[in-house]
Amino acid sequence: MPSSPITEPTVGDIRAAADRIRGAVPQTPLLTSPALDERLGGRILIKPECLQRTGSFKIRGAYNFISQLDPAARRAGIVAYSSGNHAQGVAAAAALLNTDATIVMPADAPAIKLANTKSYGASVITYDRYSENREEIAAGFARERGAVLVPPYDHPWTIAGQGTAGLELMSQAKAIGAELDAVLICCGGGGLTAGMAIAIKAARPETEIYAVEPAGFDDTIRSLATGERCRVKPGQTSVCDALLGPIPGELTFPINQRLLAGGVTVTDDQALAAMAYAFSTLKLVVEPGGAVALAAVLSTRFDCLGKTVAIVLSGGNVDPSLLCATLTGASAP
Amino acid sequence: MPSSPITEPTVGDIRAAADRIRGAVPQTPLLTSPALDERLGGRILIKPECLQRTGSFKIRGAYNFISQLDPAARRAGIVAYSSGNHAQGVAAAAALLNTDATIVMPADAPAIKLANTKSYGASVITYDRYSENREEIAAGFARERGAVLVPPYDHPWTIAGQGTAGLELMSQAKAIGAELDAVLICCGGGGLTAGMAIAIKAARPETEIYAVEPAGFDDTIRSLATGERCRVKPGQTSVCDALLGPIPGELTFPINQRLLAGGVTVTDDQALAAMAYAFSTLKLVVEPGGAVALAAVLSTRFDCLGKTVAIVLSGGNVDPSLLCATLTGASAP
């Protein structure tokens, strides 16, 4: 394992990550939609991480992490566990850095995520989401092969990599003269939220940052309320497969606790409606978990009236069958 | 009718158009896709006009046109004929400029295009694409009501407006140090192609520009070959509903004849495959006609090996039923 100290990354670490990933990880644009602005009565800036290489922001952290491993560690290969977007980010980053990657994925992950992960050259080990422990499987594999585990969110290198999306956002907002009142970020384990929050607050301390979570998986929001890391209650399900982490990270939560103004939950129906809106009006392909920040503003769970608000669309790896069922009003497969 | 002289617009006219539309018509980004670059062995820059307000580039020309009408003309209202994207562009621009709009559309236009046009507040008159003449219907309405016809491509104001996409492209390419070997542009009546060509050639004369047309609707390509405006042969059909114009424009063709290096045709299957690729890999919603330039490079009808090539995705107003049938391998509705 890399011997980095487990401490919170600084905005300096995020800037170093931005230098490290440049060339391999493209910047995503900052988009506007007059139709969305008119509907919500605010100025909405869209950070479409669905357009990122591998279809989500995850390659930012994965590339920043793997590129800091020493040559011996890279030769030993890396391992990761993920429902799909981290899997693809790690697989693609490992391929770019000539490192063997093995990814532990739930057998019921979206087909597109399984197929894409393999297409980047990674080996995939599937497990049963309900009866097996992915951390244990990955840790066992890491021990056995001497492979380094690439943490999906709870590591300063991962967080710093995801934070580059926040640096870009603030620089792009500044370039168009937008002063952000709020930023809404899709939140699973909290790595993207924490990384972006550090970058956003460094640039503009008065900008309020909100985590957006699916109903039932509002572990970060409940943790913010209670001041302690709360676990997702057993038996929950959500269509937002990218956001089903069981508990906020040990490292991400204190960052989010310090920097976030609060959180917003959205229902599956609201996430699916936002995915359909992104398709029909924004012309962007967004997966349900990637659409929750959009769902928060469209549903007015978060009120944008008179405000300048940035929303992150964190990923676009949706199976066509789910999107098409949603668009045509059929029941989801 | 506006009394502008029917002469070719200059790059100065396009710069004036860019000033005129600023604020109402957002810039679209310039995107890159490492996956696409790797597949084609070149550096591909994507100008996604599907992300433009109204889902296509058409509002650029429509807004530039209507905003130059004098107050009396604007009060009399405007009329346009269009299979759908110009309809939406004109309807939205007219609404922004407080002008009544009536749009003549084929009864079998994609449902999304009919619905969106009405949603911008325009009145829609439908006609039978195979037995009625849309120019005559629109001209009759214009005479009767004193309304100004907003030409879909064959007017210097329209062409100058579409050309603003070319100004943006060249400025964005320059900002990332990309020297374009070629630009591929979806071509119907030739307004986008002509306008962009003027802007591109003014910025970099050595960049080669190619019109991309659907098989059977290669009227511009055949006209370039013969040196005379050729008409589409009777009985042709194509899924690229945005690109079914019968003959190159009187004004657009001489511009394209002077500035284009050539043209590429793609089949319907290639256009649909490109639409599916845009969905699954680029995470962009593109309509078949908007995907023909992408189809030209994906099919290697245009070889990108070792080149820096920009492709325009001209629109994203596709009916979900068609996209979903394509994605799931079902036959198109």
Q: What is the pLDDT of residues A113-137, one digit of tens each?
A: 999 999 999 999 999 988 999 989 9
Bridge partners of B262, per DSSP, are B210
What does chain A come to in residues?
333
Contact indicator for A209, A261 with CB cutoff of 8 Å? yes
Strand, coil or helix: what is A208?
strand
- The residue with tokens 């005559």 is B136
pLDDT at A16 over 60: yes
Residue contact B51–A283, C-beta within 8 A: yes
Side-chain half-sphere CA neighbours of A317 within 13 A:
28
Q: State the Cα–Cα distance between residues B305 and B297, nearest whole angstrom.
A: 10
Q: How confident is residue A172, by pLDDT bands cut at 50, 70 and 90?
A: very high
Structure tokens at B153: 């491509």
pLDDT at A168 over 80: yes
What ranges make up the beta strands (E) of A170-294?
Answer: 182-186, 208-214, 262-266
First to last CA, chain B: 40
Q: How confident is residue A192, by pLDDT bands cut at 50, 70 and 90?
A: very high
A84/B contact by beta carbon, under 8 A? no
Domain A11-56+155-327 has CATH 3.40.50.1000: no
Domains A11-56+155-327 and A59-149 share a fold: yes
Q: How confident is residue A331, by pLDDT bands cut at 50, 70 and 90?
A: low
The residue of chain A with its CA nearest to that of B48 is A283
Instruction: Check residue B130 and report its DSSP letter.
Output: T
What is the reported pLDDT for B90?
Answer: 97
**pLDDT profile of chain B (333 residues), mean per 10:** 70 98 97 97 98 98 97 94 93 97 93 93 92 91 93 97 98 98 97 98 98 97 97 94 93 98 98 98 98 98 98 96 89 47
Residue contact A283–B55, C-beta within 8 A: yes
What is the reported pLDDT for A5?
Answer: 55
What is the reported pLDDT for A3?
Answer: 47
Q: State the Cα–Cα distance between residues A295 and A291, nearest whole angstrom.
A: 6
Residue of B283, B284, B326, B327 to mutate for A, most A C-beta atoms under 10 A: B283
What is the reported pLDDT for A129?
Answer: 84
Please report, for chain B, the start and end positions of each structural domain, with discontinuous segments joined by +: 11-56+155-327, 59-149
Residue contact A33–B53, C-beta within 8 A: yes
Least confident interval from A31-40, A74-83, A214-223:
A74-83
A155/B contact by beta carbon, under 8 A? no
Interface pTM (ipTM) of the complex?
Answer: 0.95
Q: State the Cα–Cα distance between residues B2 and B297, nearest whole angstrom.
A: 40
Q: State the Cα–Cα distance between residues A154 and A4, nearest whole angstrom.
A: 13
CB atoms within 10 A of CB A262: 13
A26/B contact by beta carbon, under 8 A? yes
The residue of chain A with its CA nearest to that of B120 is A35
Bridge partners of A31, per DSSP, are A46
Q: Please tell me the pTM assigned to this model.
A: 0.95
The residue of chain B with its CA nearest to that of A120 is B35
CATH of A59-149, one of 3.30.930.10, 3.40.47.10, 3.40.50.1100, 3.60.40.10: 3.40.50.1100
Q: How confident is residue A332, by pLDDT bands cut at 50, 70 and 90?
A: very low
